[in-house]
Chain A
Amino acid sequence: MQQGDILDLLEAADWSDIIFRLTNHALWRTRRYKWISGRPELLPGGMTPEDLALTAVLKVWDGTRDWNPVKYPNLLTHLMWIVDSDIDHLYRSTEHRKTVRMPETEDKGEIEVPDSQAVEAGKILSPEDELIAKEERDFEEKLKEELNNSVKGDEDLEFLLLCLEDGTDRPAEIAQITGWAISKVYNLKRKLYRKAAKLGNAFSNKN
C-alpha cells in the first residue's frame, strides 16, 4: 500500500471516536498497576492516561510507530497496542521503580539477603519486587472487595464479576458461558462503568 493511500485512511478516520476509546482504554489499563503516585491518573514523568492516548496518536502520525493497514487493518487496535506498550514501559521505567519504597524493619541485622545470582536469574524475587508484588496483591484484594460490595444485590453484575475473577473477560466468551445475549454483556459493562465511577478512590492505590 502506498504512503498516499495510508494517509487517505488516516485522514478519513473518526478521530473523536478514536480518542475517546483510546483514552478509556488507557484509563483502565493504568489501573491495573500500582503507581508510586498512588494514583493511576498521575503517572511517572507527570503523564496522564489522556497524554498516553494523545502520544499514541502522535506516534502514528509522525511515523514513530507506523501503521500498516494491510498487516493490522484495525487502527484502534494498533493504537491500543502502542498505549499498552507505553504503559508497560512507564511501569518498568527507572523513574517509577527507583521511588518504590523499601519495607521497613526494626531489626535490620536479621534481613535475609537473597543470592544475587538467583535474583538475576528470576528464580527469587528481589526484596523490591517482593514488596511490589505484595502491594499489588493487597490492592487487588481491596478493589475486588469494594467492587463486590458495590454490586451486591444485582445478580447479573455479581455473576459478571465471577466471570472476571475466573479470568473470562471477552464479551463473546462471557455471553457463551452465561447464555446472555452479547448486547446484555455490553449493557452490564456500561452499568459496571457507573458503579466503578462511584467507587472513585478504590482505584487510587496509595497506602
Chain B
Amino acid sequence: MKDKKEKKGFLESFSDFMSDPEGISTEDLRTELIGQGVDVESLEKKVMEIVRKGSEERRLAWQKHAREQRAGIEEIFESRRLAKTAEDIRDRIMKILEGGYGHGALSYAEAYFRKKETVSERDLETLLNDLDDLKLLEELGEGKE
C-alpha cells in the first residue's frame, strides 16, 4: 500500500480514477454523460463547429505563411537571375569590344563610352538595349538569346 508521504486524499484519488477515460468505450462514455444530464448531441455539434472553423482558419493562416515563404524564395532566385544577367551583359560587351557583333555595334559602343567617365552595369544594360533597338545586334543574328 501507499507510502504516507505520497498518499493522495480519497476525493483526489476518486476524482482521478473516475476522470480517467482509459478502458471505457465511446458508447459507454456517451451513455454515462447522458446519465449525468449532458446534451451529447449539442456537445458533438459544438465541437465539430470549433474543428471546422479552426481548420479553416489554420489552413488559411498556413497557406498565407507558405505563400510568404515562397515569395521569399522567389525573391532570392530573382536576385540571382539578375546577377546572371549582369554577368551575361559583361560577356556581351566583351564580344562587342572584340568585334564579335560587327562594326556598327563596336562604333556605337565606343561613342557610348566616350560620353561616360565611369560605366556601371546599369549603363552596360542600357547600351545593350540601345544596340538591340538599333537592330545592330539582331541584324547580325548573334544578339538574340
Q: A10-B54, A189-B23, A197-B36 are in contact. List 18 more A-B contacts (CB 8 A).
A: A3-B65, A17-B26, A20-B30, A21-B26, A24-B24, A28-B18, A29-B19, A41-B37, A76-B21, A164-B14, A164-B17, A167-B9, A167-B12, A168-B2, A169-B13, A169-B14, A196-B18, A197-B32
**A1 in the interface, Cβ–Cβ < 8 Å?**
no
- Contact sample, A vs B, 23 pairs, CB 8 Å cutoff: A15-B51, A19-B47, A20-B21, A20-B33, A21-B24, A24-B32, A27-B38, A28-B19, A32-B11, A32-B12, A61-B54, A61-B58, A76-B21, A140-B11, A164-B13, A165-B10, A168-B1, A171-B20, A185-B23, A190-B24, A190-B28, A192-B18, A193-B32
Stretch from A50-58, A90-98, A104-112 that touches the partner: A50-58
Residues B55 and A11 in contact, CB atoms below 8 Å apart:
yes
Residues facing B in A66-113 (CB within 8 A) are: 76, 80
Residues facing B in A39-62 (CB within 8 A) are: 41, 50, 53-54, 57-58, 61-62
- Across the interface, A16 reaches (CB within 8 A) one of B1, B15, B44, namely B44
The 8 A-B residue pairs with the shortest CB-CB distance, nearest first, are A61-B54, A186-B23, A28-B19, A21-B21, A32-B15, A167-B7, A169-B13, A169-B17
CB closest residue in chain A, given B21? A21
**A-chain residues with CB within 8 Å of residue B29 when the two chains form the complex:** 20-21, 24
Residues B14 and A54 in contact, CB atoms below 8 Å apart:
no
Residues B28 and A28 in contact, CB atoms below 8 Å apart:
no
A contact set with B: CB distance below 8 Å: 3-4, 7, 10-11, 15-21, 23-29, 31-32, 41, 50, 53-54, 57-58, 61-63, 76, 80, 136, 139-140, 143-144, 147, 161, 164-171, 177, 182-183, 185-186, 189-190, 192-194, 196-197
CB closest residue in chain B, given A26? B19
Residues B8 and A140 in contact, CB atoms below 8 Å apart:
no
**B57 in the interface, Cβ–Cβ < 8 Å?**
yes
Residues facing A in B68-123 (CB within 8 A) are: none
How big is the B interface, by class? Answer: 35 or more
Considering the chains assembled together, what is the distance between the CA atoms of A140 and B48 in angstroms? 37
A4 to chain B, nearest CB (A): 6
Interface of chain A, helix or strand or loop or mixed?
A: helix
**A-chain residues with CB within 8 Å of residue B2 when the two chains form the complex:** 166-168
